[in-house]
Amino acid sequence: MKPYQVNLLTAVTVIVMGLWAYLASDSPSPTSLIPSAFGVIFLLLHSGFKKENKIIAHIIVVLTLVLFVALFRPLSGVLNNGDTLGIIRVGAMMVVALLALVIYIKSFINARRSKSS
């Protein structure tokens, strides 16, 4: 999977999961929309990322890392509450963010190798 493709997958996943968390809650909290905001940012940066803009690529990597780390707190909350659907939602976002980070880092390593060759 190419980096810009995984960015699109990440964007769609966090938007859908964030909206699902917000809409499925009995007492919705605006903080459950934070992942969706990240997803919107990823979508806005997508075309620049697809054109291999290095600055945009680095911004997306940093934001993905921030998102991944920030999701540990909601994961802790849904684990403590025993919320199975919440665990699935947060887990899906974390897995996709981790997958994206791995692909981004591999892409940077490959670009560095091809540049030095």
The dihedrals phi and psi of 26, each to the nearest 5 degrees, come to: -70, -35
pLDDT computed for residue 55 by the predictor: 96
Distance CA 48, CA 54 (A): 9
CB 64: neighbour CB atoms within 10 A? 24
CA atoms 13, 15, 20, 21: torsion sign: positive
Per-residue pLDDT averaged across 28-54, rounded?
Answer: 95
Q: Which residue has the higher pLDDT, 24 or 8?
A: 8
Do residues 106 and 16 make contact, with C-beta atoms less than 8 angstroms apart?
no
Q: Helix (H, G, I), strand (E, B), or coil: what is residue 38?
A: helix
pLDDT digits (tens, 9 = 90+) for 59-94: 999 999 999 999 999 999 999 999 999 999 999 999
- Ranges of each domain in the chain: 3-112
The dihedrals phi and psi of 74, each to the nearest 5 degrees, come to: -60, -35
pLDDT more than 70, % of the chain: 100
pLDDT computed for residue 21 by the predictor: 92
Q: Which own/partner pairs from 23-27 qualify as long-range (CB within 8 Å, at least 24 positions apart)?
A: 24/85
Task: Give the CA dihedral 92, 95, 98, 99, nearest 10 degrees.
Answer: -110
